[in-house]
A and B are shown apart, each in its own frame.
Chain A
Amino acid sequence: MPQAFQGFVLRLALLAGMVLALSVDAQAQDPSADSTIVMEGELEPIVVTATKGEKELRNVPVPTTLITKDAITAQGATRLADLLAEQPGMHLVYDHGKGIQLQGLASDYTLILIDGEPIIGRVAGTLDLGRLTVAGIERVEVVRGPSSSLYGSEALAGVINIITRKPTQPWATTISSRYETHGTVDLNVEAETTQGSVGARIYANRYSSAGYDLAPDALGQTVPRFTDYTVGGRFDLDASEQTKLNISARGNWQDQSDTVGILEGTEQVPHDNQANQTDWNVSPSIMHRLNNSLKLTGTLYGSRFKTDTQVREPDTGDLQSRTQFDQYYGKGEVQVDAIIGTRHLFTGGGGYIGERVEADRIAGGTRTTANVFAFAQHEWLPTTWADLILSARLDAHTDYATNLSPKLAVLLKPNETWRVRTSVGSGFKAPTFQQLYLDFTNAVAGYSVFGSVDAAAALRQLEEEGQIQAFLLDLDTLEEIKPEQSVSFNVGVEAEPMDNVSAQVNLFRNHVADLIEAAPVALKTNGQSAFTYFNLNRIVTQGVEAKVSYVPIPAVSMALSYQYLDTFDRDVIDQLEAGTLFKRLDERDVRLSRSDYGGLMNRSKHSGTLRLQYHHAPLGFTAALRGLYRGRYGFGDLNGNLILDDDAEYVKGYWLWHLTLTQQIMEQVSVQVGGQNLLDQTKPSLIPSLPGRLLFASLRVEL
């Protein structure tokens, strides 16, 4: 590892030299050669995620979706999960929280950022988007395709960046409250002020619910009762025309209570289950413009995610079990943006990430890790109708192999009607804490699982204790684990043939290799296996995303989207081609062929969204109707071969219909009523996260 670091430091020095050389070059340029080619106008929406800098949405060379504040308001969503669930090509998936499936990749392959900084706290791979309020959000940007060349780990399917609202008003306050089925209440206060060069904005949100129970016979509720608080804010200081300072912070606390069954003998005995979750993040940053063509940004970011789950005997209150997890994340990053001449834009930077995790099942109880990184991006505008961006990032980590992620993106705009976006890039996903440091022996079944960092030592320890019957491989051949890696292609066309019509089609293909899975490494004397983690499987997701928007008259807007998705595990394909995969049908075994294979679980081949919005300006009335279709998808194996191949292994396709009606009463007051899942679609055993019909009403006052 130290070797990797030495090599890395050398590369960092080289990069620094390069940045310096470029900045000198940039300073030597005539300052009057301003950035007009890069920034064409102020009216077009500006996004920041795709290139780590401001750029017009229409001129971004990678597929980018912008969810504006108006769209958020018209939908009436209160949590980020609900907001994103209605976006084309994005599916809400539930596994220890609500995550988003993007381009057919599971939720742990999409990076979630808040103002460009990563939100931490994944549980079983899912970063629960239900714990993020939409309060304080100005817009959400979704970049499809790998972005590890700028952001590092987790950005394989794409990046979701939550941009918080900047204070713009001299004084403004907004109060809103929303009531929904299942006793769900959302209360929100936001206030902002700007005084000269100083601006401040704060918000506070309380979100609570009694939960719901789709299976009254089973112990505990389907979704437990909870209370959730979020407070956040930002402070902006324009110290001078050239220097801007900002500090942003956010805190979230959630309490959940439920009843769980603890197996005593053969009987499930009810116990109280209390889960507390805390996370906060704070980020000071400084941006300094040296001249018209050179900008420096420095950012510090700190975050913590902590969970504490206690199971107690209901009568005596005795603690039965307790699980704790505590993660700290700290990052320092510098970025240089340099405009070189009229046709080149360079962005470069680097930084350090330190992490500390404390958990019950982690070897040693506490672990600390370090990750240094450097990235560079060069944008070249060879003509007025072409834009090329080349970027790469290097990540060197204490506990897994060093990773380089390059990306090339090209935008062609032959005229104002057409945009063609092509990109090829690489993404990576770092091994999780569990995959690196787990030290776990199942008390009931007797098997053991060790993280890759400590596996060899832990297994030798077991051998000394006489617990190993046989090794399945030579411990000396265990290699350092690699991050999961992807290579992805995106080719998209956007057309605006008329003022009121726009269409987008994007073809994507993601190859993900080195998927990390546990595999047995030794046989224990108790007859059970000891496992560690290996880079094993290779999967492919590919498909087409298409979207058409049409505004027949100014008051009406329509949007239709469709996604075709094809996914598979390459090793399963190999087995199918070798004729070694079978299924059991009426007690007989049948050999499977390629056409029997339904691909990865939880992926819909066909899905789509429909959106109709009517806005009657004179009356201040808005109606937004949305339909979401999810085609059939596999939920799990039933016939023993662990792959999706039988009709009984699918969840049937279904529609969800949502309606939101908004009425502006006075200039300051608006009322909203609506319903989610109006047709009351439920599938209690297969989709417990689908709560059935929800009706809501809300009041919003702006002072």
Chain B
Amino acid sequence: MNRSLFSTSLALLLLLLVAVAGCDSTSSDDEFEVPEVTLAEDIPADPVTGFDPVTGQPVGANEYTFYSLREDEIVPRSDSASTEWDIALKATTILTNGGASGPGSGGAQVLEILFEEVTEAPASGYATDAADARAIPTGSGNGWYNYNPQNNNITPIPGRVIVVRCADGTYAKLRILSYYEGAPETPTSDDASRYYTFEYVHQPDGSRRFE
């Protein structure tokens, strides 16, 4: 108890110091630590394990992969009911840790903008997952991808940035690069799908600033 009180006081003090420093400094940007861009490669999202003998439909294990944007790592499935994870991936569906999907305060919105131009997470406009509608809309052209019926390819839509409110209320901006293993430039039917490669910037300090 005491220990936690102590650390909280210390944190508050530090915060105060930073705030004071911020106030009397004329170049606060110099002090601001710009979070780095992280690349997550080939995160499996329920990869295809076989085909339904009746429908021919590709099937997987029907399992989400849980990922922490704060810790840059996959979270074990056993922690699915916790606030350890921020996004969960299964095929083209992306969940956020909030609402109907998890106990966190997560949410998201998809912006039509360049990744570099998102210098700050929007103050409002976040949706949370409901049972019948995800914060990140599903379906071709609705959210982050287009489906091309000619070659069955799933292509991330250029100029789509997903701003994620993480389970702990911190913000991250995220851009999906590929849905295929090894992130091939032009995927073919030989490339395994349901493997995400994405880049993101997570701001751990609780502010909405990315730059």
Contact = CB atoms under 8 A, between A and B. Distances in A.
Contact of B150 (A445, A469, A636): A636
B115 interface: yes
B158 A443 contact: no
Interface stretch (B3-11, B80-88, B131-139, B166-174): B131-139
Interface string B83-117: 00000000101000000000000000000101100
Contacts of B128: none
What bracket does the count of chain A residues touching chain B fall in? 20 to 34
Main secondary structure of the interface of A (DSSP, over half): loop
A662 to B, nearest CB: 42
Contacts of B35: none
B78 interface: no
Contacts of A265: 50-51
A640 B157 contact: yes
B27 interface: no
Interface stretch (A423-431, A580-588, A610-618): A580-588
Contact of B132 (A469, A529, A591): A469
Contacts of B158: 582-584, 589-590, 639-641
Given A445-B57, A581-B159, A589-B115, A470 B186 contact: no
A642 B153 CA distance: 12
Given A587-B177, A636-B150, A640-B158, A470 B56 contact: no
Nearest to A526: B57
Nearest to A528: B139
| Residue in B141, B142, B155, B156 with the greatest tally of chain A CB atoms within 10 Å | B155
B142 A520 contact: yes
Interface string A420-450: 0000000000000000000000011110000
A264 B58 CA distance: 11
B132 A523 contact: yes
Contacts of A580: 112, 159
Contacts of A446: 55, 57
| Residue in B132, B141, B142, B159 with the greatest tally of chain A CB atoms within 10 Å | B159
A332 to B, nearest CB: 40
A45 interface: no
Contacts of B115: 589
A266 B56 CA distance: 9
Nearest to B156: A640
Main secondary structure of the interface of B (DSSP, over half): loop
A520 B139 contact: yes
A650 to B, nearest CB: 15
A266 B59 CA distance: 12
A355 interface: no
A523 B138 CA distance: 9
A581 B113 CA distance: 9
Interface in A383-404: none
Interface residues of B, number: 29
Interface in B40-76: 50-51, 55-58
Contacts of B133: 470, 523
B175 interface: yes
A202 to B, nearest CB: 44
A264 B56 CA distance: 7
Interface string A151-175: 0000000000000000000000000
B139 A529 contact: yes
Given A523-B138, A589-B175, A444 B159 contact: no
A420 B132 CA distance: 61
A444 B55 contact: yes
B159 A591 contact: yes
Nearest to A591: B114
A527 interface: yes
B57 A589 contact: no
B56 A444 contact: yes
Interface in A575-609: 580-584, 587, 589-591
Interface in A533-585: 580-584
A56 interface: no
A263 interface: yes
Contacts of A591: 114, 159
B126 to A, nearest CB: 19
Contacts of A326: none
Given A443-B56, A582-B158, A640-B158, A589 B114 contact: yes
B148 interface: yes
Nearest to A639: B158
Interface string B179-200: 0000000100000000000000
Nearest to A575: B112
B50 to A, nearest CB: 8
Given A520-B139, A523-B132, A263 B56 contact: yes
23 contacts: A265-B50, A265-B51, A443-B57, A444-B56, A444-B58, A446-B55, A446-B57, A520-B139, A523-B139, A580-B112, A580-B159, A581-B159, A583-B159, A584-B156, A584-B158, A587-B177, A589-B115, A590-B158, A636-B150, A638-B186, A640-B146, A640-B156, A641-B157
Interface of B: 50-51, 55-58, 91, 93, 112, 114-115, 131-133, 138-139, 141-142, 146, 148, 150, 155-159, 175, 177, 186
Q: Which 5 A-B pairs have the closest CB atoms?
A: A582-B159, A470-B132, A640-B155, A582-B158, A580-B112
